[in-house]
Amino acid sequence: MHDKTIAQLSASLAAGEFSSEELTRALLERIERFNPQLNAFITLTAESALDQARAADERRQRGEAGPLTGVPIAQKDIFCTDGVRTSCGSRMLDNFIAPYNATVVEKLNAAGAVMLGKTNMDEFAMGSSNETSFYGPVRNPWDLDAVPGGSSGGSAAAVAARLTPGATGTDTGGSIRQPAALCGITGLKPTYGRVSRWGMIAYASSLDQGGPMARTAEDCALLLGAMAGFDPRDSTSVDRPVPDYAAALDPPLAGLKIGLPKEYFGEGLDNAVAQVVEAAIAEYRKLGAETIEISLPNSQLAIPAYYVVAPAECSSNLARFDGVRYGHRCKNPKDLLDLYTRSRGEGFGPEVTRRILVGTFALSAGYYDAYYLKAQQIRRLISDDFRRAFEQVDVIMGPTSPTVAFNLGEKADDPITMYLSDIYTIAVNLAGLPGLSLPVGFIGARPVGLQVIGRYFAEDRLLNIAHRYQQVTDWHARTPAGF
């Protein structure tokens, strides 16, 4: 039963083929068996999962089941979970038991989903390979030598390896889409403001957005339907009705106008990846879509702007981790400064430290205008590029990442090369648009992802576009060898 999608599990549970408790036990056993290889989970919540599963089974008996009732999922360890350690992949929060639930957790619980555990991630969501986690790297189930991508690497690997049919992720610069691509699954970063950030530990507040990760677009639709919605506790969440995403999957794609930005197919893109992506686009033409070459002229500014804005916000967001109220505190502090410097120095890993330092610098007196303000101006230019493109086309497509999954350790010491791994995803966050990655092929054993970018709040359209493709292809249905 571990091989079924959420939609299939939902149907099986409804048909009484097995109970949620049986399903949950089966998946917990798989996690026990495979997690030592993959390191996809930081914390397993077996007991509470079984409680939730039994409660879901009772709910179903009472005839109150929804599509996610009794369906097991995993939560990225960035979402606060009441009474459960919420580490954010950091030594800083290794001892932190959250006293409340994130809105996303609350909503999925309310929908009857069963939380199997908390997934591994790059420390504070800062990384593209899941190698910055305090809990060690996650391995890619398609090739254990390869990284799963990041920062939602644990969620992506767990879904790909059939340890869970779905998981939550968060995406600040590509952290859902890039690991989804590298692990051969489907992941959606919604429009900024679509999913509440309450209880989601902030990395870069103006870019962070939670979203679903699953094998299929249909499953993402089911998860997003439960996760999305206005939350009065998040001032940046948007008060706008949530469409029935699952009901919007089917319309045919005839007449769809797909924009192909020439900047996304140029220098830096691996040739083999380009060929796989072009084949996928050809498939879309067969489905009736029309492709148009477009230009997003400021694309090359996205990474530099992102690496000012995100670190600037992170330098402030992570100031609360000071060893005073919770989290890591150094032993025997001599005085206040010692408490701060050693608690933070010991609690944060090198990538987080680097970004805090960069961000602190960018906001400093005398540099603010040259860096932060300039980066905000670039953000506007990038949004304008997209706005103009969407006057011409319905969606934009391109590779999710310029290469397939790289080897563990390959880029770990070279932050700039690592940052380029998100070259096609970052602009979407800067503009606040929705973006989806779906699996469209392999190079050797390693998957390739296609990114689809839509207009604001066009999640339903992106899911529809991905779903139609998945009706005529089977890349999303393939299972990594050994799992």
Nearer to other proteins, 99 or 409 (CB): 99
Nearer to other proteins, 207 or 276 (CB): 207
Nearer to other proteins, 34 or 321 (CB): 321
The two most distant CA atoms of the chain are separated, in Å, by: 69
Exactly one of 275, 364, 392, 407 binds other proteins (CB under 8 A); which one? 364
Q: Contacts with other proteins: how many residues (CB under 8 A)? A: 44
Residue 238: CB minimum distance to other proteins, A: 10
Tell me how far apart the alpha carbons of residues 247 and 262 are, in angstroms, rounded to a whole number. Answer: 33
| 232 lies in the binding site for other proteins (CB under 8 A) | yes
Q: In this structure, what token pair is assigned to residue 336?
A: 């206040």
Q: Give 449's contacts (C-beta < 8 A, 6+ positions apart).
A: 177, 178, 180, 181, 182, 184, 399, 400, 401, 437, 438, 439, 440
Q: Which stretch binds other proteins (CB under 8 A): 13-21, 246-254, 316-324, 461-469?
A: 316-324
| 336 lies in the binding site for other proteins (CB under 8 A) | yes
| 334 lies in the binding site for other proteins (CB under 8 A) | no
Query: Per-residue x/- marks for other proteins, 170-199, CB under 8 A?
Result: ---------------------------xxx
Residue 110: CB minimum distance to other proteins, A: 18
Tell me how far apart the alpha carbons of residues 363 and 358 are, in angstroms, rounded to a whole number. Answer: 9
| 80 lies in the binding site for other proteins (CB under 8 A) | yes
107 is catalytic: no
Q: Provide, for the chain, the percentages of residues in helix, strand and coil under a 3-state DSSP scheme, each rounded to the nearest 5.
A: 45, 15, 40
Q: In what order do the strands lie in the sheet with 41-44?
A: 41-44, 114-119, 72-76, 166-171, 209-214, 186-189, 435-443, 446-453, 395-399, 257-261, 290-294
User: Do you find a cis peptide bond into 151, omega within 30 degrees of 0?
Assistant: yes
Nearer to other proteins, 48 or 206 (CB): 206
133 is catalytic: no
DSSP 8-class letter at 190: P
Phi–psi pair at 117, nearest 5 degrees:
170, -170
| 325 lies in the binding site for other proteins (CB under 8 A) | yes
| 206 lies in the binding site for other proteins (CB under 8 A) | yes
Residue with tokens 């933070």: 344
**Of 90, 151, 152, 437, which one is the catalytic site residue?**
151
Q: In this structure, what token pair is assigned to residue 324?
A: 């005073």
| 320 lies in the binding site for other proteins (CB under 8 A) | yes
| 380 lies in the binding site for other proteins (CB under 8 A) | no
Residue 122: CB minimum distance to other proteins, A: 16
76 is catalytic: yes
Q: How many residues does the chain have?
A: 483
Residues with active-site annotation: 76, 151, 175
Enumerate binding residues for other proteins (CB under 8 A). Answer: 79-80, 86, 88, 93, 96, 98-100, 102, 197-202, 204-206, 232-236, 312-313, 315-316, 318-322, 324-326, 336, 340, 360, 363-365, 368, 372
